Amino acid sequence: MHSQLCKSPYVDMGFGKEYKFWDWWFDLKDEFSRQPPFANPNEYLDYFESIPNLVTGDITPNYCKLSADNYSHINGYLKERGYTVKVVFLMRDPVERLWSAMQHTGNFDGYKLDSYHIRSRYEVTIKNLDRVFDNVFYGFYETLFTKDLDRLIKFLDIPHLTLNPNKVYNSSKKGLRRYVDVDYNNTYNYCYDRFGMDCFGQRRI
């Protein structure tokens, strides 16, 4: 998603993709965290204010584990600086998401750790986002390149984006699903109820 957004002349995401600032600032460090390039919120926001383009942002998956209070503080910082705040929360089949995280870290026992699972508990993240933000886009990796694309373009209010619908990143190892599928029953059911039975492309078997 980051690389596709950056193709637009109306978007400048800065020098990085995942700035990983807010999870560090709120002391929610885990194996996905790293020392951010900013010492405090003012430095972070000063940097983004130096970017002249219309649309900018921070694509850090670890922000999904922040609490509603954390989101409220972030929203306050941004509004004080005069930002128009738009939140994009993209989901993926939870097992696929877990496998992608395990590949990223090289920890193939990650499915045993809460720090990996919490990033796929979408029902928790959504409830926290809904409590704080008025302008949230909810979409799915599996349908982003088809039915969600027009919605995203309108939401971000930028000219046409060209995404690659044929490339699948980090497709999961088949055997993983039998170990963890049941752990995500609540997540699957919540998403099916809220977004429809085809939100992950097709219902899992």
DSSP secondary structure letters along 74-111: HHHHHHHTT----EEEEE--HHHHHHHHHHHHT-TTGG
Both tokens of residue 165?
């619908």
* Phi, then psi, of 88 in degrees rounded to 5: -115, 120
Both tokens of residue 177?
């699903």
Residue 42 has pLDDT above 90, yes or no: yes
Indicate the pLDDT class of residue 56, thresholds 50, 70 and 90: very high
- pLDDT tens column, 159-187: 766 666 555 555 655 667 777 878 899 99
Both tokens of residue 115?
């720090």
CB 19 within 8 A of CB 38: yes
CB 158 within 8 A of CB 10: yes
Identify any residues that bridge with 89 across adjacent strands, giving them in sequence order.
138
Helix, strand, or coil here: 136?
A: strand
- pLDDT tens column, 131-163: 999 999 999 999 888 888 888 888 998 876 666
